[in-house]
Amino acid sequence: MTEPLDRRRVCAALRAAGVNDRLYSVEGVHEPAAPLPDFHFLRLRSGMWETGLFERGEYAVTARFPASEETAACRELLRQLLPGG
């Protein structure tokens, strides 16, 4: 079984992998002051973790997970941002 992930650990993994920190936003942990115009996100809305892409001024949610499944949501963000993630 793999180790649980949380938002802080996923940000550390992305930094360690050299992912541009303007390319993603993780609610409450990593919200760049000047994100790229299009960026990936992980956020909590209405009791659900959401991942997806912010582009053209709109949030496009690609996956939702219950609030109790932060690890699954973090893994999804890694999958979106890391080759072979």
Question: Over 80: is that where the pLDDT of 44 sits?
Answer: yes
What's the CA gap between 21 and 44, in Å, rounded? 20
**pTM > 0.85:** yes
Angle at 21 between CA 83 and CA 30, to 5 degrees: 115
Q: Where are the beta strands (DSSP E) in 1-85?
A: 24-26, 39-45, 48-55, 58-66
Q: 41 and 25 in contact (C-beta within 8 Å)?
A: yes
Domain edges within the chain: 7-81
* pLDDT confidence bin for 1, thresholds 50/70/90: very low
Tell me phi and psi for residue 73, to 5 degrees.
-65, -40
